[in-house]
Structure 1
Amino acid sequence: MEFSGKGGISTESGKLELLRQVAAGIAAQFGSSCEVVVHDLSRHPDHSIVAIVNGHVSGRKVGDGASAVVLEQMETNDPEPKDHLCYLTKTPDGKILKSSTVYIRNSKGKVSAILSINYDISKLLMVEDAVRELITTQEPQPSEPERIVNVNDLLEDLIEQSVALVGKPVALMNKDDKVKAIQFLNQNGAFLVTKSGDKIAKYFGISKYTLYSYIDTKQQEEKQA
Structure 2
Amino acid sequence: MADVILDALRPVIEGIAATFGPTCEVVLHDYRLGEQSVVAVAGAVTGRAVGGAMSEIGLAMLARGDAAGNDLNYLSRTADGRVVKSSTMPLRDADGRVFGALCINLDVTALRQAGDLLIALAGAVPSQPVDTTFSNDFDDVVDALVRGEELARGRPAAGLGRAERIALLRALDERGVFRVRNAVPRVADRLGVSRSAVYADLAESRKEAPRT
TM-score, with structure 1 as normaliser: 0.80
The structure with the largest alpha-carbon Rg is 1
CA contact (8 A) 2:146 2:157 kept: no
Residue 121 of structure 1, CA deviation:
0.9
User: In the TM superposition, what are the counterparts of 1:19-58 in structure 2 within 5 Å?
Assistant: 19-44=9-34, 46-54=35-43, 56-58=44-46
Alignment CA distance shift 1:209-1:85 (3 Å) = same
In structure 1, the gaps of 5 or more residues are 1-10
CA contact (8 A) 1:89 1:148 kept: no
Residue 144 of structure 1, CA deviation:
3.5
Q: Distance in 1 between matches of 2:114 and 2:93?
A: 42
User: In the TM superposition, what are the counterparts of 1:61-210 in structure 2 within 5 Å?
Assistant: 61-77=49-65, 79-129=66-116, 136-150=121-135, 151-170=138-157, 172-192=159-179, 195-210=182-197
In structure 2, the gaps of 5 or more residues are none
Q: How many residues align?
A: 208
What CA deviation, in whole Å up to 9, does each residue of 1:14-38 have, x standing for no partner? Answer: 2112211221111111111110111
Alignment CA distance shift 1:115-1:195 (3 Å) = closer
Residue 152 of structure 1, CA deviation:
2.1
What CA deviation, in whole Å up to 9, does each residue of 1:41-61 have, x standing for no partner? Answer: 2212x211111111x211111
Alignment CA distance shift 1:105-1:186 (3 Å) = same
What CA deviation, in whole Å up to 9, does each residue of 1:165-194 have, x standing for no partner? Answer: 434334653221122112222332333556
Q: Distance in 1 between matches of 2:199 and 2:3?
A: 36
TM-score, with structure 2 as normaliser: 0.85
What CA deviation, in whole Å up to 9, does each residue of 1:125-154 have, x standing for no partner? Answer: 233355567xx3533243233424222221
Alignment CA distance shift 1:37-1:59 (3 Å) = same
CA contact (8 A) 1:166 1:180 kept: no
Q: In the alignment, what sits opposite 2:3?
A: 13
Q: 1:214 aligns with which of 185, 190, 201?
A: 201
